Structure 1
Amino acid sequence: MTLKTQQRFKSESGLAYFKTGAGSPIVLIHGVGLRAEAWLNQVPVLSEHHTVYAIDMPGHGESDLLANTAAGLDEYVDLIATWIQTEIKEPVIMMGHSMGSMIALNFAARYSDICCGVAALNSVYRRSLQAKQAVRQRALDLIENPDLGNVTTPILRWFDVNPKGFEKQMADLCEQWLLAAPAKGYARAYQIFSQNDGPKDEALASLEMPAIFITGDGDANSSGDMSKRMAALCPDGDYAVIEHSRHMVQMTHPDEINPLLVKFVKQCCIKIRNQL
């Protein structure tokens, strides 16, 4: 399957994004190796009543690589926060997938004055020792072999072993994006992803806003138990586990994901109105 690339805007800081719709803003952040179009199945629904901004993570898609080679998660978040403050200029509902969820949760905790809700899809929290070793080895392999010639391994982790029909179309799209991903941007982001083990408990406890954690029941590295534990630490947290799905749940299961996100957005908007 081939998907038309959306026309991008680009901020002075080098962050590329596309936007559509009208209304209060929602920001979407994809995972490592992908691009803004990873939210292709959510954008039409969410933009019915909101302005949706889908960004290319730094070093991905058309976004510039951060000049600071030692940049970590905080620097990725700071760049996005500055873009929101200068170009959107109002609080946002933040949604992230995989590493994008790490960014979204970090943003919600550190920039709570401009975040009115956070949705974290397929997010990690306190990996097992075996999982830590595996993800760090993958990060090391990418640093040492940045040509990204073999994308079979992530596709096998993210989708069914033999995807068919709609899931096969989504897997083919991801494979195209991985093959086209800028090698340095992918490797740097994956290194940061491997070094972070989910938000601190006190950060989750500080979230005075609606928060939802969603994952697939077949995603061993971002399990339902992880989502449940994170939600329990949030003052206004909820979680959902989508049956018969794996890591790319927003792409493969939009019929289950989209109603959850629409309901969540309405919850955020109601809370905002009640605070006025």
Structure 2
Amino acid sequence: MTLKTQQRYKSANGLAYFKTGTGAPIVLIHGVGLRAEAWLNQVPVLSQQHTVYAIDMPGHGESALLAQDDAGLEEYVDAIADWIKTEIEEPVIMVGHSMGSMIALNFAIRYKALCAGVAALNSVYRRTPQAKQAVQQRALDMLENPALDKVTTPVLRWFNQNPQGFEKQMAELCKQWLLAAPATGYARAYQIFSQNDGPRDDELAALDIPVIFITGDGDSNSSGQMSERMAALCANGSYAVIAESRHMVPMTHPEEINPLLAEFVQQCGIQTRR
């Protein structure tokens, strides 16, 4: 399956994005190795009542690498926050997947005045020692060997074995994006992803906006238990676990995800059209 690449806008700090719809703003942030089109199944629904901004994470798609070679999660968040202050100029609902959910949660914690709600999909929280070692080893391998196969193993983790029909189409799209992902941007982002283990408990407890955590019941690295524990720490937190799904639930299970997101957006209280 081939998907048409959306025409991008480019911010002054090098962030690339596309936008569609009218109304209060929603910002979508994809995971490592992907690009803004990963939200292809959510954009048509969310843009019916909102302006939807789908970004390429720094160093991905058409977005520039951050200038600092040693940039961490906070620098990624700061770049996106600067863009929101300049381009959008009002509070947003943040929706992030995988590493994008790390960015979304960190944004909500550090830029409270700019965030009306957070949906964190397939987010990690307190990996087991074995899982932490495995993800950090993958990140090290990627940095030390840029020619390493960066497609086969992720797709096997992210999708059901031998995907069929619609899920197979989504897996093929992910393969295309992973093959095209800039090597340096991919490796740097994966290193940050491997080193972060979810927000601190006190940071989650201090969030007073609506927060929802969504994952797949077959995603062992971003498990339902992780989502439940994070939601319990938030004053206005909730969670959902999608049956018969793995890491790429936004792509593989839009019929379950989209109603959850639409309902969540209404709870955030900025649904009035401009």
Query: TM-score when scaled to structure 2?
Result: 0.98
Q: Distance in 1 between matches of 2:248 and 2:229?
A: 21
Cα drift, residue 28 of structure 1:
0.2
Q: Residue 213 of structure 2 corresponds to which residue in structure 1?
A: 213
| 1:162 correspondence with 2:171 | no
Cα drift, residue 94 of structure 1:
0.3
CA deviations 1:20-56 (Å, max 9, x no partner) are: 0000000000000000000000000000000000000
Q: Is the 8 A contact 2:250 2:257 kept in 1?
A: yes
Q: Which runs of 5+ in 1 are unaligned?
A: none
Q: Distance in 1 between matches of 2:252 and 2:129?
A: 29
Q: Distance in 2 between matches of 1:247 and 1:42?
A: 16
Q: Residue 54 of structure 2 corresponds to which residue in structure 1?
A: 54
Residue identity opposite 1:74 in structure 2: E
Q: Residue 85 of structure 2 corresponds to which residue in structure 1?
A: 85
CA deviations 1:200-234 (Å, max 9, x no partner) are: 11110111100000000000000000000000000
Cα RMSD after superposing both structures: 1.0
Aligned structure 1 segments of 4 or more residues deviating by more than 3 angstroms? none
Residue identity opposite 1:164 in structure 2: Q
Q: Residue 103 of structure 2 corresponds to which residue in structure 1?
A: 103
Q: What secondary structure does 1:85 align onto?
A: helix
Number of corresponding residues: 272
Residue identity opposite 1:263 in structure 2: E
Q: What secondary structure does 2:238 align onto?
A: strand
Residue identity opposite 1:230 in structure 2: M
Cα drift, residue 145 of structure 1:
1.2
Cα drift, residue 148 of structure 1:
4.7
Q: Is the 8 A contact 1:120 1:213 kept in 2?
A: yes
Q: Residue 21 of structure 1 corresponds to which residue in structure 2?
A: 21
Q: Is the 8 A contact 2:150 2:178 kept in 1?
A: no
Residue identity opposite 2:223 in structure 1: S
Q: Is the 8 A contact 1:148 1:183 kept in 2?
A: no
Residue identity opposite 1:221 in structure 2: N
CA deviations 1:44-79 (Å, max 9, x no partner) are: 000000000000000000000011001000000000
Q: Residue 72 of structure 1 corresponds to which residue in structure 2?
A: 72
What does 1:182-221 align with in structure 2 at a 5 Å threshold?
182-221=182-221
Q: Residue 231 of structure 2 corresponds to which residue in structure 1?
A: 231
Q: Distance in 1 between matches of 2:21 and 2:268?
A: 18
Q: Residue 175 of structure 2 corresponds to which residue in structure 1?
A: 175
Q: Is the 8 A contact 1:98 1:122 kept in 2?
A: yes
Q: What secondary structure does 2:247 align onto?
A: coil
Q: Distance in 1 between matches of 2:71 and 2:253?
A: 33
Q: Residue 113 of structure 1 corresponds to which residue in structure 2?
A: 113
Cα drift, residue 150 of structure 1:
4.3
Q: What secondary structure does 1:26 align onto?
A: strand
Q: What secondary structure does 1:221 align onto?
A: helix
Q: Which runs of 5+ in 2 are unaligned?
A: none
Cα drift, residue 149 of structure 1:
3.6
Change (3 A) 1:150 1:70: closer
Q: Residue 247 of structure 1 corresponds to which residue in structure 2?
A: 247
Residue identity opposite 1:131 in structure 2: A
Q: Is the 8 A contact 1:212 1:237 kept in 2?
A: yes
Q: Residue 4 of structure 1 corresponds to which residue in structure 2?
A: 4
CA deviations 1:168-212 (Å, max 9, x no partner) are: 000000000000000000000000000000011111011110000
**In percent, how many aligned pairs have the same letter?**
78
Q: Is the 8 A contact 1:26 1:92 kept in 2?
A: yes
